[in-house]
Chains A and B, each alone.
Chain A
Amino acid sequence: QKEVEQNSGPLSVPEGAIASLNCTYSDRGSQSFFWYRQYSGKSPELIMFIYSNGDKEDGRFTAQLNKASQYVSLLIRDSQPSDSATYLCAVILDYQLIWGAGTKLIIKP
């Protein structure tokens, strides 16, 4: 079993709607959780990080963490075509970032 699991998608969402991206992880010792966005042919760029259970909001983005369920999600409100990308979930284990394979998100105008 992979340590970080994501649905590969693609996830297709109409423009203006909420996109919901999900990630599960296997190691209960993980303390820090990250969402990166990666456009085709580009390197990952940090969207958000979260350490504590609950929600963390930054503009149109909300990260949600549930350590009991070993689940972290990213909500994107008012989705825009420019949000179309692959979203990578990553967790810290010791000093390493352990990555999911990413979910491809497509925002349809």
Chain B
Amino acid sequence: GAGVSQSPRYKVAKRGQDVALRCDPISGHVSLFWYQQALGQGPEFLTYFQNEAQLDKSGLPSDRFFAERPEGSVSTLKIQRTQQEDSAVYLCASRGASTDTQYFGPGTRLTVL
């Protein structure tokens, strides 16, 4: 596709519910990043994939957060047993092989009630 896409754009979950957020990167981009952005803050790094390999997951806030990219393209961020503090915008970005520039998807706004 022309850009990074994410789905759903909005998700409302009840506390304790599991959610799955999807990211489709720009075709051919080997690197994929997940960020969490709270209101009024810059994005915070969660995890990084190069192709299907998850090279860094140091930003995942707890073991309730899990990300995968099994075929090196689409990625899913899963949050188990959601808590109110998980409410944020989750941004996905992809990057080509010979550049530092990351391109962002529209984000998924997660609200946990």
| Interface positions of A (Cβ within 8 A of B) | 4, 8, 32, 34, 42-46, 49, 88, 90, 92, 95-102
Contact = CB atoms under 8 A, between A and B. Distances in A.
Contact of B100 (A45, A92, A98, A100): A92
Nearest to B100: A32
**Which 4 A-B pairs give the minimum distances between C-beta atoms?**
A99-B42, A43-B104, A32-B100, A43-B107
Nearest to B93: A97
Interface residues of B, number: 22
Mostly helix, strand, loop or mixed at chain B's interface? strand
B100 to A, nearest CB: 5
B1 to A, nearest CB: 15
Contacts of B43: 44, 88, 97, 99
Most buried by B among A4, A34, A99, A100: A99
Contacts of B107: 42-43
A96 B42 contact: no
Contacts of B66: none
A42 B106 contact: yes
B33 A43 contact: no
Given A95-B48, A96-B48, A97-B33, A45 B104 contact: yes
Most buried by A among B103, B104, B106: B104
Most buried by B among A32, A46, A96: A96
B41 A101 contact: yes
A42 B104 CA distance: 10
